Structure 1
Amino acid sequence: MATSSPALREAQHDLETQANALSKLQKDIAKNHQVRKQYTIQLGENELVLKELELLSEDANVYKQIGPVLVKQDLAEANANVRKRIEYISGELKRLDGTLQDLEDKQNSKKDTLLKLQQKIQVLQAGKSKS
């Protein structure tokens, strides 16, 4: 078999480009899952802290760790801070879910494109072998 036709070379180049793009999308999806996992863990921890704070009486001593030091904090302030943190983390999880859905849609599109390119290459190779 001599050199491949220009159409076949172009299709193979497109296939390689699309495969690289798919690989990048898959890495982005994996990174998204990792970040999402960290936020989910933080959300669980903060919800546990909130439950513990709700068990305390109004005059209980609450301390916040700032670096190596424990600083006394008002119970209402601690409660508000934890609620804000939970709200922030929940918002980030929603944002990550949206991003993940977008990435997965792009991944499915790339897979379809790759499949079509592979079929095109097969047709071109089959046509060349018949020549």
Structure 2
Amino acid sequence: MADVQAQLQALSEEYQKLQQELQTAIDSRQKIEAQRQENLGVQKEFDRLKDGESIYKLAGPILLKQDKVEAESTVKGRLEFIGKELERSEDHIKEIQEKLEKKKGEIIQAQAGLQATGAAPGKAAVKA
């Protein structure tokens, strides 16, 4: 029975680690999505520009004039990269969620095994 309780404790700790990993992955995905939204906003601004208007890029404390085609190309490239990162991030989140579900099933089985031995989790069995 002590083995089952130790196994249950280990499974519980692994489950908590997976939950933390999932939260970290979700936070990362949210940051990537924020970058995507920012770049989409920049792309919309480019669409509003009239011919002959200047585009400036902030490089440190200096504003540098930039060619519109080059700037649009840079933003388009960023959006493609961000799209791939979002896809990778979502796949990672799904993978962690699947691991969590599997671990949850293992915990339920361990709890059932512990209950089958006649003791509730955290209580010692009484021998007659």
Q: Same fold (TM over 0.5)?
A: yes
In the alignment, structure 1 residue 106 sits paired with structure 2 residue 64? no
Report the residue type matching 1:64 in the other structure: K
2-structure distance, mates of 1:107, 1:58: 54
CA RMSD of aligned residues (A): 1.3
* Structure 2 residue aligned with 1:24: 17
* Structure 2 residue aligned with 1:43: 36
5+ long unaligned stretches in structure 1: 1-7
2-structure distance, mates of 1:58, 1:16: 66
5+ long unaligned stretches in structure 2: 120-124
2-structure distance, mates of 1:68, 1:114: 55
In the alignment, structure 1 residue 11 sits paired with structure 2 residue 4? yes
Give the match's secondary structure for 2:73. helix
**Sequence identity (%):** 30
In the alignment, structure 1 residue 124 sits paired with structure 2 residue 117? yes
* Structure 1 residue aligned with 2:47: 54
Under a length normalisation based on structure 2, what TM-score does the superposition of the two structures give?
0.91
How many residue pairs were aligned?
Answer: 123
- Give the C-alpha shift of residue 59 in structure 1: 2.0
Structure 1 runs of 4+ off > 3 angstroms? Answer: 128-131
Under a length normalisation based on structure 1, what TM-score does the superposition of the two structures give?
0.89
2-structure distance, mates of 1:98, 1:38: 16
